Amino acid sequence: MEKDPTVVARLFQEREEENWRFRTFLRMTSCSRAKINAAAEHFAREAAARMDCLQCAACCKQTRPPVDATEIGRLAARLNITSDAFVERYVAENDFGERCIEEIPCPFLDGNRCTVYEDRPDPCRGYPYIGGAITEHMLDILERASTCPIIYEMLEKLKAHLGFDRYAP
Ligand code: SF4
Ligand code: SF4
Protein backbone atom coordinates (compact mmCIF):
# COMPACT_ATOMS: atom_id res chain seq x y z
CA MET A 1 0.00 0.00 0.00
CA GLU A 2 1.32 3.43 -0.93
CA LYS A 3 1.11 5.57 2.22
CA ASP A 4 2.82 8.75 1.08
CA PRO A 5 0.07 11.21 0.07
CA THR A 6 2.35 13.09 -2.36
CA VAL A 7 3.07 9.83 -4.21
CA VAL A 8 -0.63 8.98 -4.15
CA ALA A 9 -1.46 12.37 -5.67
CA ARG A 10 1.04 11.76 -8.48
CA LEU A 11 -0.15 8.21 -9.16
CA PHE A 12 -3.74 9.36 -9.18
CA GLN A 13 -2.94 12.06 -11.69
CA GLU A 14 -1.18 9.56 -13.93
CA ARG A 15 -4.30 7.38 -13.82
CA GLU A 16 -6.85 10.14 -14.15
CA GLU A 17 -8.17 9.01 -17.54
CA GLU A 18 -8.24 5.40 -16.35
CA ASN A 19 -10.20 6.41 -13.27
CA TRP A 20 -12.86 8.11 -15.40
CA ARG A 21 -13.14 4.90 -17.42
CA PHE A 22 -13.53 2.96 -14.18
CA ARG A 23 -16.42 5.23 -13.23
CA THR A 24 -18.14 4.29 -16.50
CA PHE A 25 -17.24 0.62 -15.96
CA LEU A 26 -19.01 0.68 -12.58
CA ARG A 27 -22.17 1.99 -14.24
CA MET A 28 -22.11 -0.76 -16.91
CA THR A 29 -20.94 -3.83 -14.97
CA SER A 30 -23.40 -6.62 -14.25
CA CYS A 31 -22.04 -6.90 -10.70
CA SER A 32 -24.68 -5.69 -8.23
CA ARG A 33 -24.31 -2.29 -6.56
CA ALA A 34 -24.58 -3.99 -3.16
CA LYS A 35 -21.64 -6.30 -3.93
CA ILE A 36 -19.51 -3.44 -5.26
CA ASN A 37 -20.24 -1.28 -2.23
CA ALA A 38 -19.55 -4.13 0.21
CA ALA A 39 -16.22 -4.89 -1.49
CA ALA A 40 -15.28 -1.20 -1.50
CA GLU A 41 -16.03 -0.91 2.21
CA HIS A 42 -14.01 -4.04 2.94
CA PHE A 43 -10.97 -2.76 1.02
CA ALA A 44 -11.24 0.70 2.58
CA ARG A 45 -11.43 -0.71 6.11
CA GLU A 46 -8.47 -2.95 5.39
CA ALA A 47 -6.45 0.04 4.13
CA ALA A 48 -7.53 2.22 7.08
CA ALA A 49 -6.29 -0.45 9.49
CA ARG A 50 -2.85 -0.28 7.86
CA MET A 51 -2.67 3.51 7.65
CA ASP A 52 -1.43 5.81 10.39
CA CYS A 53 -3.22 9.10 9.69
CA LEU A 54 -0.72 10.96 11.89
CA GLN A 55 1.91 10.18 9.25
CA CYS A 56 -0.26 11.73 6.54
CA ALA A 57 -2.76 14.50 7.44
CA ALA A 58 -3.24 15.17 3.72
CA CYS A 59 -6.95 15.79 4.25
CA CYS A 60 -6.20 18.55 6.79
CA LYS A 61 -3.69 20.07 4.37
CA GLN A 62 -5.82 19.95 1.24
CA THR A 63 -9.51 20.18 2.10
CA ARG A 64 -11.67 22.79 3.79
CA PRO A 65 -14.13 21.16 6.20
CA PRO A 66 -17.65 22.64 6.22
CA VAL A 67 -18.76 24.01 9.61
CA ASP A 68 -22.31 24.61 10.87
CA ALA A 69 -23.42 26.85 13.73
CA THR A 70 -22.96 24.12 16.35
CA GLU A 71 -19.44 23.35 15.21
CA ILE A 72 -18.57 27.03 15.06
CA GLY A 73 -19.87 27.48 18.62
CA ARG A 74 -17.87 24.47 19.82
CA LEU A 75 -14.63 25.65 18.23
CA ALA A 76 -15.16 29.24 19.37
CA ALA A 77 -15.66 28.06 22.96
CA ARG A 78 -12.48 26.02 22.72
CA LEU A 79 -10.54 29.07 21.56
CA ASN A 80 -12.30 31.26 24.15
CA ILE A 81 -13.64 33.68 21.55
CA THR A 82 -17.17 34.48 20.38
CA SER A 83 -18.76 32.67 17.45
CA ASP A 84 -18.78 35.95 15.52
CA ALA A 85 -15.07 36.40 16.11
CA PHE A 86 -14.46 32.82 15.03
CA VAL A 87 -16.43 33.34 11.79
CA GLU A 88 -14.59 36.58 11.12
CA ARG A 89 -11.19 34.96 11.61
CA TYR A 90 -11.58 31.42 10.29
CA VAL A 91 -14.70 30.95 8.14
CA ALA A 92 -15.47 31.51 4.45
CA GLU A 93 -18.04 30.22 1.96
CA ASN A 94 -17.17 27.35 -0.35
CA ASP A 95 -18.37 26.93 -3.96
CA PHE A 96 -21.62 25.37 -2.72
CA GLY A 97 -22.46 28.31 -0.47
CA GLU A 98 -21.64 26.35 2.68
CA ARG A 99 -19.62 27.86 5.48
CA CYS A 100 -16.23 26.17 5.81
CA ILE A 101 -12.80 26.67 7.35
CA GLU A 102 -11.18 29.27 5.12
CA GLU A 103 -7.49 28.44 5.13
CA ILE A 104 -5.65 25.53 3.57
CA PRO A 105 -3.81 23.88 5.30
CA CYS A 106 -6.26 24.00 8.19
CA PRO A 107 -5.14 26.63 10.72
CA PHE A 108 -5.73 24.12 13.52
CA LEU A 109 -3.12 21.72 12.20
CA ASP A 110 0.21 21.66 13.99
CA GLY A 111 2.61 19.36 12.17
CA ASN A 112 0.29 16.45 11.47
CA ARG A 113 -1.75 16.88 14.65
CA CYS A 114 -5.14 18.50 15.04
CA THR A 115 -4.96 21.01 17.91
CA VAL A 116 -8.75 21.05 18.34
CA TYR A 117 -9.19 17.30 17.98
CA GLU A 118 -11.96 16.78 20.57
CA ASP A 119 -13.92 19.72 19.13
CA ARG A 120 -13.13 19.28 15.43
CA PRO A 121 -15.98 19.69 12.93
CA ASP A 122 -18.11 16.61 12.24
CA PRO A 123 -16.92 16.27 8.60
CA CYS A 124 -13.38 15.79 9.96
CA ARG A 125 -14.65 12.97 12.18
CA GLY A 126 -16.17 11.04 9.29
CA TYR A 127 -13.38 11.54 6.75
CA PRO A 128 -12.77 9.65 4.43
CA TYR A 129 -16.32 8.17 4.83
CA ILE A 130 -15.38 4.58 4.12
CA GLY A 131 -18.83 3.10 4.78
CA GLY A 132 -20.75 4.95 2.06
CA ALA A 133 -22.31 3.61 -1.13
CA ILE A 134 -19.47 4.44 -3.48
CA THR A 135 -21.50 3.67 -6.61
CA GLU A 136 -23.71 6.67 -5.77
CA HIS A 137 -20.81 9.00 -5.03
CA MET A 138 -18.07 8.24 -7.51
CA LEU A 139 -17.23 11.89 -8.11
CA ASP A 140 -16.57 12.36 -4.39
CA ILE A 141 -14.63 9.09 -4.27
CA LEU A 142 -12.39 10.13 -7.14
CA GLU A 143 -11.76 13.48 -5.49
CA ARG A 144 -10.83 11.76 -2.22
CA ALA A 145 -8.68 9.17 -3.99
CA SER A 146 -6.55 12.00 -5.35
CA THR A 147 -5.64 12.95 -1.78
CA CYS A 148 -6.18 10.07 0.60
CA PRO A 149 -4.02 6.92 0.57
CA ILE A 150 -6.89 4.90 2.09
CA ILE A 151 -9.34 5.73 -0.69
CA TYR A 152 -6.69 5.44 -3.39
CA GLU A 153 -5.85 1.92 -2.16
CA MET A 154 -9.54 0.99 -2.02
CA LEU A 155 -10.03 2.17 -5.60
CA GLU A 156 -7.06 0.18 -6.91
CA LYS A 157 -8.12 -2.97 -5.05
CA LEU A 158 -11.67 -2.60 -6.33
CA LYS A 159 -10.46 -2.33 -9.93
CA ALA A 160 -8.54 -5.60 -9.57
CA HIS A 161 -11.40 -7.31 -7.71
CA LEU A 162 -13.94 -6.44 -10.41
CA GLY A 163 -11.64 -7.43 -13.27
CA PHE A 164 -11.39 -3.90 -14.64
CA ASP A 165 -8.87 -3.79 -17.49
CA ARG A 166 -6.81 -0.66 -16.89
CA TYR A 167 -5.16 -0.98 -20.31
CA ALA A 168 -8.35 -1.30 -22.35
CA PRO A 169 -8.84 1.52 -24.86
S1 SF4 B 1 -10.09 20.80 12.37
FE2 SF4 B 1 -8.48 19.32 12.84
S3 SF4 B 1 -9.14 17.42 11.81
FE4 SF4 B 1 -10.30 19.12 10.91
S5 SF4 B 1 -9.13 19.78 9.10
FE6 SF4 B 1 -8.48 21.04 10.84
S7 SF4 B 1 -6.68 20.02 11.69
FE8 SF4 B 1 -7.78 18.53 10.40
S1 SF4 C 1 -8.01 10.13 6.23
FE2 SF4 C 1 -6.77 9.78 4.40
S3 SF4 C 1 -5.94 11.80 3.82
FE4 SF4 C 1 -6.69 11.93 5.94
S5 SF4 C 1 -4.89 11.52 7.19
FE6 SF4 C 1 -5.95 9.57 6.93
S7 SF4 C 1 -5.01 8.62 5.14
FE8 SF4 C 1 -4.42 10.79 5.12
Residue 25 lies in domain: 5-56+128-161
Q: How confident is the model at residue 165 (pLDDT cuts 50, 70, 90)?
A: confident
Is residue 169 in a domain?
Answer: no
10 and 42 part of one domain: yes
Q: How confident is the model at residue 169 (pLDDT cuts 50, 70, 90)?
A: low
73 and 104 part of one domain: yes
State pLDDT tens for residues 102-145. 999 999 999 999 999 999 999 999 898 888 888 888 999 999 99
Name the residue with the closest Cα to ligand 2, atom 6. Answer: 53
CA of 111 to the centre of ligand 1 (A): 11
111 and 143 part of one domain: no
29 burial (CB, 10 Å; 0-12 / 13-18 / 19+) is middle
State pLDDT tens for residues 45-94. 999 999 999 999 999 999 999 999 999 999 999 999 999 999 999 999 99
Is residue 166 in a domain?
Answer: no
93 and 143 part of one domain: no
Is residue 42 in a domain?
Answer: yes
Cα separation of 16 and 44, whole Å? 20
Is residue 107 in a domain?
Answer: yes
**Predicted pLDDT at 166:** 72
Average pLDDT over every residue of 146-164: 95
Cα separation of 73 and 116, whole Å? 13
Is residue 89 in a domain?
Answer: yes
Is residue 168 in a domain?
Answer: no
Please state the domain count of the chain. Answer: 2
**Predicted pLDDT at 25:** 92
Q: Which residues line ligand 2 (CB under 6 A)?
A: 5, 51, 53, 56-59, 127-128, 147-150
Average pLDDT over every residue of 3-18: 95
CA of 66 to the centre of ligand 1 (A): 11
46 and 73 part of one domain: no
Q: Phi-psi category of 33—alpha, beta or left, where left has phi over 0 and alpha has psi -120 to 50?
A: alpha
Report the SS3 class of residue 25: helix
